[in-house]
Amino acid sequence: MDISFDGIPDNTRTPGAFMEIDHTQAGGVGTEQHRLLLIGQRNASSTGVLHEAVRMGSQADDQAATLWGAGSMLHSMAKAARAANANVDIWAVALDTSASGNDAATGLIRFTDGTALENGMVNLYIAGTAVRIPVSVGDTSDDLAWELTVKINGMPELPVRATYSTGNVGAADCSLQCKWAGAIGNLVTIRLNHYSGETTPAGVVITTTAFLQEGNGLIDITPALDAIVAQQYYSIACPFIDPDTLVELETEMDRRYGPMVSKTGHVFNVLNAPHSALTSFGNSRNSPHLSTLGGWGFLTAPWVIGAVWATVVEYYGSQDPARPFTTLPLPGVLAPHEKDLFDREERNQLLYDGISTFTVSQSGQVLIEQVITNYQVNSYNLPDEAYLKLNTKWTVDYMRERFCNAVVAAFPRYKLGDYSAPGQPVATVESVRGVLVAEAIKLNNEGLLEDLENFKATLIVQRSTTNKNRINAVLSPNLVNQFDIFVGSIKFII
């Protein structure tokens, strides 16, 4: 048979020289463009686009505020994510808050009757954002409660709106209400005097709860997942951690990771809770497709921390999935006070309970320590480290994509036979094997695969005996690891 051409017919009789251009062998093997998805709530008063993935541009702050309301959960997530990295392809899906029975969380900042005895500043932090009002000698509780109310309402980026009242005997109040409904609003923090040196002026007495309270109702995650059914989002920041939502996310991510879908996604969430609660939560989960960053004493809202964490890990993971994330900073995240930080032994325990960890630098930056998944035991309930580290999952998934793309790129519209035919697009077991080995060599040179000789020796490529149009292969790549720990012993002599 003659050489086969795609665009030049065999029955041409008109004279001339004809040359087709075939791009299928040009360049290297590409991989899927990574996208980061933020899932969060819009403000109760917002009428912005709902249940639809929207791409966030360079002005994600203004864009999200316009779409879903200033101070909304999704606004703060988009703002923080874009500030963390200018290059990540960020998308966002808004969920509604108007379901029947959902109540917005509330809080109270009470100024007890009295008069300021010195000049100074009220240093309040709402969800980690500083709200400061000046205090002058002689200011009363009524003065300060009113000024704080005006200040809060003049900061649209805050997740709350404020109301002034003097209905309580001996006190003036600044009442807070979350801008969206649901129990997750109870995670908005309220704190006085975070940084060293911040004090409340003498004569000013302020009482408040540590968090907003009395928010109730859960979101339905299904519309968000329906909105992305046809598209891959490699990293997903989703702050909702109630059991039903987690099961739905775990199930969907498991489906996407499967061989017939291959649209891998990974969900990042954050839990701000005492150590015992973190270990309990971690031991209740077992998915390789979710990661939870645990800490206590965070002022920054968990949805903001999660958005920053996912953005940083997504960016560096897309550059090199095998390189450790250790020491990468989480910009804009306020570090907990030192008394609330976990020591090495406590963090090590969390890493055995499916909870990722962080450290804090001397300058107060929050740094990634380890990014692990919630996966801990296999189907026999035995400890299993196969998917302990996110690096492992992302590296093997990257290899899957590279090997599949290499085969598809090498054999476009090819026939399959036991033997090759000169000039004909015929794939064989040996030619497919050659493509797989060539790609393994590239991965080895890129520092992602090691023990190349073992890969070659154990590689199985066979033509199917039940489907003559199919080739089956078994690949056993040895993944490169992460240099996390160095130990030694110094035996000194004097």
pTM for this prediction:
0.94
User: In Å, what is the CA distance from 266 to each residue of 88, 164, 231, 312, 400?
Assistant: 15, 43, 14, 14, 16
Number of Cβ within a 10 Å radius of residue 80: 28
* Structure confidence at residue 10 (pLDDT): 76
Q: What is the pLDDT of residues 53-89, one digit of tens each?
A: 999 999 999 999 999 999 999 999 999 999 999 999 9
* Structure confidence at residue 30 (pLDDT): 62
* Structure confidence at residue 56 (pLDDT): 97
* Structure confidence at residue 94 (pLDDT): 97
* Structure confidence at residue 113 (pLDDT): 83
* Structure confidence at residue 487 (pLDDT): 97
What are the sequence ranges of the domains in the chain? 104-208, 228-392, 412-494
* Structure confidence at residue 203 (pLDDT): 95
Is residue 301 within 8 Å of 127, Cβ to Cβ? yes
Residue 325 identity (one-letter amino acid): F
Q: What is the pLDDT of residues 185-195, one digit of tens each?
A: 999 999 999 99
CA distance 174 to 108: 6
* Structure confidence at residue 168 (pLDDT): 76
User: In Å, what is the CA distance from 68 to each residue of 36, 97, 170?
Assistant: 18, 11, 39
Is residue 294 within 8 Å of 340, Cβ to Cβ? no
* Structure confidence at residue 322 (pLDDT): 98
* Structure confidence at residue 280 (pLDDT): 98
pLDDT < 50 stretches in the chain = none
Residues 6+ apart with CB under 8 A from 200: 120, 122, 123, 192, 193, 206
* Structure confidence at residue 326 (pLDDT): 98
The topology under which CATH files domain 104-208 is Baseplate Structural Protein Gp11; Chain: A, domain 3 (3.90.1160)
